[in-house]
Each structure stands twice: as structure tokens, then as C-alpha cells.
Amino acid sequence: QVQLVESGGGLVQAGGSLRLSCAASGSIFRLNTMGWYRQTPGKQRELVARITSDSSTNYADSVKGRFTISRDNAKNSVYLQMNSLKPEDTAVYYCNLNQVSGNQVNYVYWGQGTQVTVSS
């Protein structure tokens, strides 16, 4: 099993910055993808950014140039630096870990979520 613990959410004014952190523990494979998703009431959870074990990244168009995802493999941690925040970034942000076992079983894990609120 894998546990994901997020931290760093909160309330910030538009234009401000926040940094989210997520620490993974448990049975973590060497090759995996970690990422951040977000969800607002009544909407589907959407990808914000993700990063592979070899640090390949991709971002949602809405956050490109403002958000930066990074990871520390030694700490099994992933981070999301969010700059130039906008009210539309307000959401619950979820950490995600996706890994495939040697026998090709895909495992997906989620954190409990952390609220990010951006005031105008």
C-alpha cells in the first residue's frame, strides 16, 4: 500500500504564490509518475501537472508558465510551485501517484486533498 500526505494549501490573494508538497510512503516502485490534480464542486477532477521518475513533465494549458512541478526521488516527494495565482485556480488539489508493477498491474493512489483558495 501507498500513502500520500499533502500539505501547503491555504488562502492567498490573486497574484500570490503557494507551494504544495506531497510525501509518499509505502511500497513505491522505482518507476512511477506523480502529479497534481484539482477539482471544484460539480466538475470532474482535472490534471494540473505530472512528472515522471526521470523528470519529464506535462502541464495543463491553464497553468503553463505559472506553475512548476518538481520531485525529490530520494524523499518520494512531489511539489507544485504555484505563482501568479488566479481566482479560477481555487479548488481542492489532490496528489496522485501512478505506478505499474512488473506484471503490468497499474496502481493509482490519491492523497486526501488540500484546499487552495484564491481571492480576487
Residue 77 phi, psi (nearest 5): -125, 150
pLDDT of residue 39: 98
> Which amino acid, residue 31?
L
Looking up cell 489532490, which residue turns up?
A: 94
Residues of the chain above pLDDT 70, percent: 100
Q: Is 18 exposed, middle or buried (0-12, 13-18, 19+ CB in 10 A)?
A: buried
Closest CA to 24 of 2, 55, 54, 9: 2
pLDDT of residue 30: 87
pLDDT of residue 69: 98
For 5-28, write each residue's pLDDT tens digit.
999 999 999 999 999 999 999 999
Q: Are 96 and 36 in contact (CB under 8 A)?
A: yes
pLDDT of residue 110: 98
Higher pLDDT, 34 or 1: 34
For 98-114, write each residue's pLDDT tens digit.
998 888 888 999 999 99
pLDDT over 90 at 46, yes or no: yes
